[in-house]
């Protein structure tokens, strides 16, 4: 277990001590994809989702998700986020559509914001599903992954 940083000498979970780390500007971008039917897409375009605009609600939920990451992921440090934004892009697929959700999260601190970006897109995708499930429950939340991160000791990461 010595390769894992979240275990103490007794082999029990711990939150990593970041007190000696240097603060740097940090950014993380994450993405998630949802497949949806033509019926769901048309309902959204025509304002036919009874709960409201699903991307507006998912945007707010994603921001809240980023802010609450430390409350739901046990070993994450509470972070003072300095920016969180989400983008939504519908792409026509072979069958139906795909909605690409992307979150960008920024801070200046001693630990990264990868988990906050991943939580943001995950919560946004779940919220979008919840908003649209009355029209069609066959939506699929697909890939959720880190696109890029900058800052910190490990430097820049770009998903290939």
Which candidate in 71, 85, 89, 130 is catalytic?
130
121 within 8 A of 105, measured Cβ to Cβ:
no
Instruction: Give first-to-last CA distance, the chain, whole Å.
Output: 29
Q: By three-state DSSP, how is residue 21 classified?
A: coil
Catalytic residue list contains 130 = yes
Q: Is 75 annotated as a binding residue?
A: yes
Q: Nearest CA to 83 among 33, 36, 120?
A: 120
Q: Is 77 annotated as a binding residue?
A: yes
Q: Is 115 annotated as a binding residue?
A: yes
Question: Sheet holding 24-36: strands in order across?
Answer: 83-92, 97-109, 24-36, 140-150, 157-158
Q: Is 76 annotated as a binding residue?
A: yes
Residues taking part in catalysis: 130
Q: Name the binding residues.
A: 75-77, 115-116
Q: Name the binding residues for substrate.
A: 75-77, 115-116
């Amino acid at each position: 277990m010595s390769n894992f940083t979240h275990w103490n000498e007794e082999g029990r979970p711990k939150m990593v001590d970041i007190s000696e780390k240097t603060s740097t500007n940090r950014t993380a971008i994450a993405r998630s994809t949802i497949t949806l039917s033509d019926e769901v897409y048309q309902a959204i375009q025509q304002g036919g989702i009874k709960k409201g605009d699903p991307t507006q609600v998912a945007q707010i939920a994603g921001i809240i998700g980023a802010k609450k990451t430390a409350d739901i992921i046990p070993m994450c440090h509470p972070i003072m986020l300095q920016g969180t934004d989400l983008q939504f892009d519908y792409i026509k697929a072979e069958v139906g559509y795909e909605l690409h959700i992307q979150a960008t999260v920024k801070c200046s601190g001693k630990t990264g914001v990868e988990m906050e970006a991943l939580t943001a897109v995950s919560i946004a995708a779940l919220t979008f599903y919840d908003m649209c499930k009355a029209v069609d429950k066959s939506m699929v939340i697909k890939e959720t992954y880190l696109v890029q991160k900058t800052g910190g000791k490990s430097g820049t990461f770009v998903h290939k």
